[in-house]
Chains A and B, each alone.
Chain A
Amino acid sequence: MADTSPPAVPVVKKGGLAVLEERLFRCFDDRRNRYGAYALLVTSSLAIPFVGDNYVLEILTNSFFYIILCLGLNIVVGFAGLLDLGYAAFFAVGAYTTGILTSHYGWNFWLTIPAAVVFSIMAGVIIGGPTLRLRSDYLAIVTLGFGEITRIVARNLKDITGGASGLIGINRPSIFGLELYQIHHYYYAFFALVVLALFVSYRLQHSRLGRAWQYVREDEDAAEAMGIDRVAIKLYAYIIGAVFAGVAGCFFAAKMTAISPETFQFMQSATILMAVVLGGMGKIPGMIVGALALVLFPEVFREIGSMRMLVFGVVLILMMIFRPQGMWPERRN
């Protein structure tokens, strides 16, 4: 009985650990420290290809890819507070745009990126437009359905998408005459994308739009009363998230040179969501932590293999009950 009554004032425990934690966060929230940390990360990331072997580079490139997806989903889930359960669909839109345009129509890889952006925006408007007017729960389940539709369409349009076996032999992109084919080429390409995604995320977070998202997330009605068009700004969040995934999908297709519908299952969306929740929704450095945790976890604990998603599910529930702000929560004043 007692535990369902509406919460009174939240009790703040100030144990030894909590104080330590508070200090740690303050340290990372400090601008100078943050720039220092990023400078360290950037230099070490740039240096890694000179020392690491292909295995390490492969894992890190994969992590970079997930960092971009997490940053994109973070805009939807973290900034705007909308639950998207079909995020992999946007990544599929980008990957298939690149795959189809380069292999069927002989487009240059770099030209397919603007096309992927346009298609991602279209998909975002088609799904977000009608559902964002309604309660946020509807969006969650419609996106779940959309993710499934995308996969089915990719499987059924055999002439264009290659059906269930997928598209193979996607052309490698080249830049200034250098063809990108080795793992360290893609390592740097994805690294550049991560830097771009981080930059865009930070700029958005502190922009007028970013503040509007936060307002709508915290109190939709008050935000609307202050003249914020809640449907429009939610749609912006949704579209920007879609574009992040679309662009990441283009590079994914180029790196893998083969894509199939099964890459974009619900589990893919759930995995990205998991990383966002783990890292702390709304917290940009948290996305790096979450994505790294997600990619490294199965590498470190190889023996549990297929049980990975089961563990994720349990962690997701426990996180929501005991630590809804994520491992690295957002500090609110």
Chain B
Amino acid sequence: MTVFDITIQQIVNGLILGSFYTLVALGYSMVYGIIKLLNFAHGDVYMVGAFVGFAILSFLSGLLGDQWAGILATMVLAMIAVGFLGVLIQRLAYRPMLSAPRLSILITAVGVSLVLFNSVMAATYGEYKAFNTGLDYEGVTMGHIHITYTQMVMVASTALLMVVLHLFISRTIYGKAMRAISIDMDACRLMGIDVNKIIALTFFVGSALAAAAGVMAGVYYGSIHFFMGFVIGLKAFTAAVIGGIGSIPGAMLGGLALGLLESFGTQIPWVGTEWKDVFAFGLLILLLIFKPTGILGRTEIERM
């Protein structure tokens, strides 16, 4: 393998990793942008998404097979199901807390995370589940580099989801309402925007994107477990901060940046794979010291 081969290989790995981070980071950033809540449970929503996908796929594989058709249908259904789960979480746990002190709502989010995490642990007896698909390792080979079609489709579908999300936020009336609420919630209420409905919609979209990432992770890694959401939740938050939390293009940029940084970071001899999580968190702490607003974030002036 030449340096060039390694570089290409790491770019591919970084893009895949970055896709997962981006999809989860978007949910963090959207919710933060609209109600200023750091939804700790978001990593667990991703994990639930993987398990819902697992359940749906094992049911659908009889009808549609366990290849592209089955996986696509699984992903769409899992996104819808987990989207509604997000709405349910928002309705039961966060909505009563909207005007409560920030500490209370953060603790509520920790509670939601514990509930999701432990229910899946109890349901699966803490075991790993094999996420079996009929996809093989076919793909394009260039010299020493082999890129599977699965990898290409995953990066492409992440890109597609991002484009759709961008159009949704910038072109539709609902997206406009979301942007308006993030600026001034009370004014929106006076203007006749159904704020609760839009917040619920934000949770739906954020959770659906996390579910998409969860299903993709299941397909890509081939096994899922109840603890998979914890670290990715932290990493996705790091990604959201890199891009500037609350900013949607920022989350996309931050996710890809973190994915690439991490995959190149593990190539540094003294970093290695067992230190890759420390590398990402170290990056987060450095970033918070030197550039807490991130690449695209706005400086927060008021602190009231």
Contacts and interface: CB of A to CB of B under 8 A. Distances in A.
Interface string A306-333: 1101101111110011001000000000
B304 interface: yes
A144 B275 CA distance: 17
A88 B12 CA distance: 37
Nearest to B36: A137
Contact of B281 (A145, A317, A320, A324): A145
A316 B108 CA distance: 6
Contacts of A314: 111, 115
Interface stretch (A50-58, A146-154, A286-294): A146-154
Given A313-B111, A320-B104, A320-B107, A1 B194 contact: yes
A307 B278 CA distance: 30
Contacts of B231: 148
A314 B194 CA distance: 29
A83 interface: yes
A35 interface: no
Nearest to A141: B237
Interface string B71-102: 00000000000000000000011011111111
Interface stretch (B116-124, B138-146, B153-161, B203-211): B116-124
Contact of B278 (A130, A152, A273): A152
B288 A138 contact: yes
Contacts of B300: 135
Contacts of A153: 278
Interface residues of B, number: 56
A180 interface: no
A321 B106 contact: no
Given A307-B118, A324-B100, A313 B112 contact: yes
Nearest to A138: B288
Q: Secondary structure of the A side of the interface?
A: helix
Given A145-B234, A146-B281, A313-B111, A136 B102 contact: yes
A142 B38 CA distance: 12
Contacts of A126: 285
Given A138-B292, A156-B275, A306-B122, A85 B110 contact: yes
B260 to A, nearest CB: 20
B184 interface: no
A131 B288 contact: yes
B142 to A, nearest CB: 35
B113 interface: yes
A269 B98 CA distance: 25
Interface residues of A, number: 51
A4 B91 CA distance: 11
Contacts, number: 141
Contacts of B234: 141, 144-145, 148
B196 A317 contact: no
Nearest to B288: A130
A124 B280 CA distance: 20
A313 B118 contact: yes
Given A138-B292, A141-B38, A316-B107, A266 B303 contact: no
Interface string B189-205: 10000111000000000
A3 interface: yes
A316 B111 contact: yes
A12 interface: no
Contacts of B303: 135, 220-221
Contact of B100 (A141, A310, A320): A320
B169 to A, nearest CB: 22
A189 to B, nearest CB: 32
Contacts of A135: 300, 303
A258 interface: no
A68 interface: no
A174 B278 CA distance: 37
A250 to B, nearest CB: 25
B115 A1 contact: no
Interface in B281-302: 281-282, 284-285, 288-289, 292, 300
Nearest to A324: B104
Across the A-B interface, give the 9 residue pairs with the lowest CB-CB distance, nearest first: A313-B114, A316-B111, A313-B115, A310-B118, A317-B111, A130-B289, A145-B281, A320-B108, A137-B38
22 contacts: A1-B189, A3-B96, A4-B98, A130-B288, A140-B40, A144-B40, A148-B277, A148-B281, A149-B278, A152-B274, A152-B278, A156-B275, A266-B230, A309-B114, A309-B118, A313-B112, A313-B118, A314-B111, A314-B115, A316-B114, A320-B105, A321-B96
